[in-house]
Amino acid sequence: MDRIHIRDLAVKCIIGVYEREREAKQDVVINITLHSDLRRAGVTDDFHDTIDYKAIKQRVLALVEGSSFQLIEALAEAIAAACLEFDGIEQVDVLVEKPGALRYARTVGVEITRARARD
């Protein structure tokens, strides 16, 4: 599989289990790797033969900005599911990081891999 990377997407959302975390939106940083067969696009040089990663970015931003998850694991799962709704994406890797979540650590992150269900 070929890959398209969306790196360091910075978004604010309600995330956390503690009451103080749920009072205001916090920063999260998202990295997404989309697995797809890009050979046709490489040959045709036609936008219609590839993955519209701008549309995926817009979908992820809308999802995250409107979300209110307690766990970054749940947020990552929702992002992966949204990405797999797009035609041509066979698998997705999602890394969600929450900067400053742990004292003395730059960030804490959860990375998941999900694949399209086979019929």
3-state secondary structure of 80: helix
Per the residue annotation, which of 25, 54, 57, 98 is the catalytic one?
98
Of the candidates 26, 12, 27, 88, the residue with the CA atom closest to the CA atom of residue 56: 88
Residue type, 43: V
For residue 109, give both structure tokens: 């992150």
Give dist(CA 36, CA 44) in Å, integer: 16
User: Contact at 8 Å (CB) between 108 and 97?
Assistant: yes
Q: Is 57 a catalytic residue?
A: no
Residue 113 burial by Cβ neighbours in a 10 Å radius (0-12, 13-18, 19+): exposed
- List active site positions: 98
